[in-house]
Structure 1
Amino acid sequence: MTDPARGAVAEGVWEFDPQGAVDPGARDRVISDIGHSGARDVVVLAHGWNNDPGVAGEFDARFFALLREAAPEARMARVGVRWPAMRFLDESAPHVPEEQRRAALDALPALDAATARALVDAFPASGDVVHELCDLLARRPAGGLALDDFGTLLRRLVELRLTDARAEFASDAEDDLLPQHDPVMLFDDTAGVCGEFAAALDEAREAVEATHHRPERIERHSEGDADVSHHGTHAESAVLGPRAPDALSSLLDQKGPVQTAGGFGDERFATGHDELWRGAHELLRQVAGHTFRRRAGVVGTYGLGPVLALLARNVPGVRIHLVGHGFGARLVAYAVRNQAEDSRAVASMVLLQPALSHFAFADHMPHQMRGGGALAGCLERLAGPLVCCYSHNDLELGLMHPLATRMIGDSASLSGIDRKWGALGHDGAQASASFTAIDLAEMLRSGMGERQCVNVDVSEVVREGDPPAGAHNDVFHPDLARLVVQVAGIGRED
């Protein structure tokens, strides 16, 4: 429909299953609506929260409302992406009713009814396993055998055969030399893993109570070592991106090989019965996240990617702008990776707190003998800018992500866990000569200029949120909507 005061508007939803399949009729209706609307720009928004249509719809509605305010006259269509992911309701999120979060917090370390239902829906083929996991968290039996059972159930929930095509989406390394793509948290001693996550939760609370502002440190190649922090060395890469001045936790300072049977846990970690089960709840959340991370790559590659190509063919001249948050950022990035090299169908991409390795766009993986990041080739498939928004206040990506993504048999080298397995949404794209760093205020003031790829420090606005996720979900800000509009060139005549 057309509103002369606000330009041409079309709104729709594309919903994908875990393999990336979409209903052809629903897909084509949205594309047809976009074509008939006369929209010049299409914003496609993907995020990782789909506990139910209402929760997913509220996220879309809030962010799209901010876009309308930022570009009220633009001829802009808006499409939300739905896919099978979920969030644990004890996480703080502005668009979720507080009473839901309160019920989840009151149930800890057990799962509240709503979160348990969402987990069953996210793993429809493993309902019995989910029910057993929920039962163990509710009863919290004494003794190590119960935790061993918990670990066994988690492996049953998410393990894939190495020949399964979905296994390749567990890592953001293009030429990963490792034969195993499952994280060590699935195979190490479960009690030790739970103890480490319990300790991480304590440190996350301390981080929230401390200052929200963590100044960035930019490390650049030079002849000497004067500007090298203990978080990275020039031997890793000649180009390093923005870094927080200190690791969020001493847990991230661990170095050396990561192996099973003792890689997690030591005398520093909580060993009390209640603390271990509190860590078990966080372990379940991170293991579920491992599946959603992998699933986002599948849906982006086999689902959204082909749909974007179809949209470009059927509505010639339309400009497609991708916005992804969290796991949704991984989804849209892999959708671009799947475009034909000469398609140039996607005009811009903005990643908000992306749950991706900070080496995903690397020209060369600093810790590997060969190969770059899995998304290094995306730049050749974009017609315009790529912006990565990161915040040092994001505890989910700054603390929990590095602990949860360590791979079996891999090594943190000499630089610590956060350097090797750090996340894009915490400290920006690393080891890529294509990216330059800038803060949000300067970006809004000066724009992209001649740059195609930019790391934007949004720590000043993305700062609020309770542990364990911290500020990860704090993305409903007018300045972020203005950033999307600016990067996309929405409303600009050219």
Structure 2
Amino acid sequence: MSFTHFDVEFTKDGNVFDNAQVDAVLTSLPNFTDLLVVSHGWNNDMQEARLLYENFFKSVDQLLDIKAVEGLAERKFGVIRLFWPSKKFADEDLLPGGGAASAIRQSDDSLIVFLERMKSDPARLGGPGKTDKHVPNKKRVTAINAAQALVPKLETDKSARSKFVTLLRSIQDPSFAHTDDGSKEFFALKPEELFEAFSDGVAPLSASAEFGGARAVVGSARPAHGGDAAIADMVSGIKAAARRIANFATYNEMKQRAGLVGSSGVAPLIGRIRDRKKDIKVHFVGHSFGGRLVTAAANALPKGTPSVSVSLLQAAFSHNGLATKFDDKHDGQFSALVAEKRASGPIIITHTKNDRAVGVAYPLASRISLDQASALGDENDPYGGMGRNGAQKMGPETIAGTLLRPGQQYAFVSGQVYNLNADDIITDHGDVTNESVAYAVLNAVKAI
């Protein structure tokens, strides 16, 4: 079968860019029993986001054509393809250690270049670094210019370090800060404490080893065991800490944006859809930071919302994000999604140690901890990612399973969270368009 798809674009503030796109969805609702609402992640431009969608639905289409999942023949599917302004960086810019940082001057240059790229803040995916009014964001540019000017002084001047942190905080929104991902500590710690927390390097561990990521902090009691140095962050010291602080600010901004677009943009859209057609089934599918986006959208729905499934494909947010009292004191940012059944479920989560973006780069970027000897990226890491470990600290709400190949049988039911170990199938962070992933999503669709 072929899908009728609707592209709906959101600005960085969570607003619909073109209301005609929403009108097209609303007027077409009588044609559908089900809507799949899909979101790309971070580090996508418009072309890559479209390619992700096309490849994923090619796999879905092939499975439906051969009736690989029973019970869907009478369903009529529409697809809402979400587009939101994530940022496009080169791969090396995503790693907290960056590239060449072996000497002070190289480290200065690397940090200044990274800060320069932070000035771009497109209102739309693939758009220029402009605000919604198409003028430069002067506050943002001024703050980052000032931070760049401080870079040569960071090693020797405590006040420069304090100002550097204050400037990067000034372009963030503290109202989004939360305990489950380190963002609260980013605003609460004193600047010197923040530099200390980010000052130690992390040695690499091979993807095939026990933890599937970087394991030990340089100088800690737990040695690394070889592996992929490109994904590690072995440089220590003030300049390395400054780079990690800037990287944290960048990750944090995208986490905030994904949540804002989901809760303030997509959730109201689903509300309008349900107002028009109350019995339509809604299926959220999100990759990477798009997993955070669709989780935020589902979390913003009313308590007890029926007929909503959620599929998180290598999601880049805290593995404690769905938990209640994950540390005996705090709830995950999206705990109400499960506790109040704001999405009826099922909720399926693919996770694998092969995903070094979520398994290593994400917790490195999120890490604000003075307990530097803890394993990094695994299920014991307080800043571990959903796409590496699945949902943690959930108790009986979570069922451990395996990502299956087409033809094998799932038994998904509403009200449950399923962690699907994908070590044997998903090879890296972007490997989410294959038939096994599509098969799992279709089985979640079938369950409601």
- The residue that corresponds to 2:84 in the other structure is 83
Instruction: Check the 8 A contact 1:84/1:122 in 2, yes or no.
Output: no
Instruction: Check the 8 A contact 1:147/1:190 in 2, yes or no.
Output: no
- Relative distance call for 1:148 and 1:438 in structure 2 (3 A) is farther
Structure 1 position 48 matched with structure 2 position 41: yes
> Which one-letter code corresponds to 2:418 in the other structure?
V
- The residue that corresponds to 2:102 in the other structure is none
Q: Deviations over 1:169-223 (max 9, x none)?
A: 33265xx9x9945268993478767754xx44x62xxx4xx3x445xxxxxxxxx
Q: CA deviation at 1:390?
A: 0.9
Question: Any residues of structure 2 matched to 1:111-150 within 5 Å, and which?
Answer: 111=113, 124=131, 125=137, 126=139, 128-129=141-142, 132=145, 144=155
Instruction: Check the 8 A contact 1:10/1:76 in 2, yes or no.
Output: yes
- In 1, Cα distance between the equivalents of 2:361 and 2:77? 37
- Relative distance call for 1:295 and 1:68 in structure 2 (3 A) is same
Structure 1 position 167 matched with structure 2 position 174: yes
Q: CA deviation at 1:430?
A: 1.1
- The residue that corresponds to 1:156 in the other structure is 167
- In 2, Cα distance between the equivalents of 1:270 and 1:113? 18
Structure 1 position 187 matched with structure 2 position 187: no
- Relative distance call for 1:284 and 1:26 in structure 2 (3 A) is farther
- Relative distance call for 1:44 and 1:128 in structure 2 (3 A) is same
Instruction: Check the 8 A contact 1:389/1:455 in 2, yes or no.
Output: yes
Structure 1 position 350 matched with structure 2 position 311: yes
- Relative distance call for 1:333 and 1:271 in structure 2 (3 A) is closer
> Which one-letter code corresponds to 2:79 in the other structure?
R
- Relative distance call for 1:254 and 1:80 in structure 2 (3 A) is farther
Q: CA deviation at 1:417?
A: 5.9
Select which of 418, 437, 453 maps to 2:417: 453
SS of equivalent residue, structure 1 residue 354: coil
- The residue that corresponds to 1:270 in the other structure is 235
- The residue that corresponds to 1:385 in the other structure is 346
Question: Any residues of structure 2 matched to 1:61-460 within 5 Å, and which?
Answer: 61-72=54-65, 75-90=76-91, 111=113, 124=131, 125=137, 126=139, 128-129=141-142, 132=145, 144=155, 152-153=163-164, 155-159=166-170, 166-171=173-178, 173=180, 180-182=184-186, 187-188=191-192, 196=200, 199-200=201-202, 203=204, 207=205, 210=206, 212-213=207-208, 245=211, 248-251=214-217, 270=235, 276=239, 283-344=245-306, 346-366=307-327, 368=328, 370-379=329-338, 380-407=341-368, 418=377, 419=380, 420-433=382-395, 434-441=397-404, 445-450=408-413, 452-460=416-424
Q: CA deviation at 1:128?
A: 2.1
Instruction: Check the 8 A contact 2:144/2:167 in 1, yes or no.
Output: no
- In 2, Cα distance between the equivalents of 1:190 and 1:441? 43
Instruction: Check the 8 A contact 2:7/2:81 in 1, yes or no.
Output: yes
- Indicate the larger mover: 415-424 or 56-65: 415-424
- The residue that corresponds to 2:426 in the other structure is 462
- Relative distance call for 1:301 and 1:437 in structure 2 (3 A) is same
SS of equivalent residue, structure 1 residue 488: helix
Q: Deviations over 1:285-320 (max 9, x none)?
A: 332011111222222221111111111221333211
- Indicate the larger mover: 346-355 or 279-288: 279-288
Instruction: Check the 8 A contact 1:10/1:34 in 2, yes or no.
Output: no
Q: CA deviation at 1:405?
A: 2.6
- In 2, Cα distance between the equivalents of 1:421 and 1:82? 27
- The residue that corresponds to 2:9 in the other structure is 15
Structure 1 position 486 matched with structure 2 position 443: yes
> Which one-letter code corresponds to 2:430 in the other structure?
N
> Which one-letter code corresponds to 2:398 in the other structure?
F
Instruction: Check the 8 A contact 1:184/1:406 in 2, yes or no.
Output: no
Gaps of 5+ in 1: 1-5, 94-106, 215-243, 256-267, 464-470
Q: CA deviation at 1:12?
A: 1.5
Q: CA deviation at 1:31?
A: 2.0
- Relative distance call for 1:10 and 1:398 in structure 2 (3 A) is same
